[in-house]
Each structure stands twice: as structure tokens, then as C-alpha cells.
Chain A
Amino acid sequence: DSGVTQTPKHLITATGQRVTLRCSPRSGDLSVYWYQQSLDQGLQFLIQYYNGEERAKGNILERFSAQQFPDLHSELNLSSLELGDSALYFCASSVGVTGSETQYFGPGTRLLVL
């Protein structure tokens, strides 16, 4: 158990809908990262927050947004969903922001868009 929790575990929705994925980092970790794992794109970095502020952005679509709240949990919002958004979404956390730090991954949320 990494100490990172993600809800829900599974999500099934329809095209055009909006969903929210939730992540609680390990106790004491200030950084939260979101990754998408799909069969065709592999594991891709989406976005990072550090202590409530956006820190880095990767291949995140404009239809997707995220935030980190004062209690450090984070939410990833996916809107106008398309079939291609079906994937496993991972949250990870780390203490700080240096490149050498270990990131601890949650179990993921599996999203299926029908």
C-alpha cells in the first residue's frame, strides 16, 4: 500500500459527459501528479501540483483540468468525454519537487467511455 488513495476505482460513462477523479496523497507529501495510461499512448504525464499551485503541465488536453485543495487532495476533471479518453488514470505524490524524488502511485481509476 503506497499510502496514495484514489476514488473511484472504476467509472463508466458516456461520450460528452464530465467526470471527476479524486486523489489523496501520502501524509506529508505536497506534490501531486496525474498520469494517463492507455494502450496506444502508454504512460503519459498530465499535470503536477505542489502545495496548491500548478507546477508543471504535460500532455493534458484543454478538456481536462485539475486542482489541488488546501488539504492537499487533488481532483482531475475530464469533460466532453470521448471514446479515446478511456484509460487508467493514476495519481502519484512526492514530498517535494526535485527530480530525484520517488513518486508514490495510487491504484488508479479505470475510466471507460461508451
Chain B
Amino acid sequence: GNSVTQMEGPVTLSEEAFLTINCTYTATGYPSLFWYVQYPGEGLQLLLKATKADDKGSNKGFEATYRKETTSFHLEKGSVQVSDSAVYFCALSEAGANNLFFGTGTRLTVIP
């Protein structure tokens, strides 16, 4: 079946620190991979996505590369800001299916 395993949180970083949130997946086919972000009191927003192996998704300084050999899609940012404090969800969508399978979410807190 399909599943997503995310790094346990919470994660607390100082402003300008480097961020990595690990995400690995299990899928029977060739999924599309997503990172969604949920700011306090809001719905989920797409942060970035990649639809095939070796694709790199990027947005707002965040990046993630679709690694088929390690079944991973780790989220990185070189220098986090206080405004990046949120919960980050890794998700996959199987080819031919439409629903998203989500990881458990990782809460990031950035302190000044």
C-alpha cells in the first residue's frame, strides 16, 4: 500500500539556521510527491511538488528532490525565518489515483 513516513517533530531552530525535514515513502507505482504547509489556524497550502524521479520542487527558498532510489523527498531550506513556523506535511498521490496520502506532519518553530 501507500504510506509516507515523516521525521518526528517538533523541530525548533534559530532564525537563519538550516532546515531539513526527512520524508520517505512507500508506493506501488510512480507517485507524485508534495510538501504542504499549514500555518496556525489555516488550511493546507501547497509548498512544492515533484511528479517524477530526479525532479526538484522549489518555492520560497524551500527545495525537495524526488529520489526514487532512496524513496525519499526531504525538505530543505538554507536559512529559515520566524515566518516559516508552521506544520509541514509530506504527501504522495499514486499515479492513476487522486487522493493524497499524508505523513504525520512536522511542527517547525523558528525562534528569533
CB distance from A91 to the nearest CB of B (A): 9
Do residues B98 and A48 form an inter-chain contact, with CB atoms below 8 A?
yes
Do residues B100 and A103 form an inter-chain contact, with CB atoms below 8 A?
yes
Bound-complex Cα distance A101 to B100 (A): 10
Contact of A99 among B45, B94, B104, B105 (CB under 8 A): B94
- Give chain A interface residues in 74-114, CB to chain B under 8 Å: 90, 92, 94, 97-108
Residues of A within 8 A of B93 (CB): 99-101
Chain B 75-100, CB within 8 Å of chain A: the 1/0 string? 00000000000000100011111111
Do residues B45 and A2 form an inter-chain contact, with CB atoms below 8 A?
yes
Given contacts A99-B93, A100-B32, contact A42 B105 (CB under 8 A): yes
Given contacts A31-B98, A33-B99, A56-B97, contact A99 B32 (CB under 8 A): yes
Given contacts A90-B44, A100-B51, A105-B45, contact A56 B105 (CB under 8 A): no
Interface: B62 (CB within 8 A): no
Residues of B within 8 A of A99 (CB): 31-32, 93-98
- Give chain A interface residues in 5-23, CB to chain B under 8 Å: none
CB distance from A26 to the nearest CB of B (A): 13
Chain A 25-68, CB within 8 Å of chain B: the 1/0 string? 00000010101000000111100101000011010000000000
Bound-complex Cα distance A44 to B93 (A): 13
Interface: B49 (CB within 8 A): yes
Bound-complex Cα distance A101 to B104 (A): 21
Interface: B42 (CB within 8 A): yes
Do residues A105 and B43 form an inter-chain contact, with CB atoms below 8 A?
yes
Given contacts A99-B32, A99-B94, A100-B93, contact A45 B45 (CB under 8 A): no
Residues of B within 8 A of A33 (CB): 98-100
Interface residues of chain A, those whose CB is within 8 Å of chain B, are: 2, 4, 31, 33, 35, 42-45, 48, 50, 55-56, 58, 90, 92, 94, 97-108
Q: A2-B43, A100-B93 are in contact. List 8 more A-B contacts (CB 8 A).
A: A42-B102, A56-B97, A56-B98, A90-B43, A90-B44, A99-B93, A105-B43, A105-B44
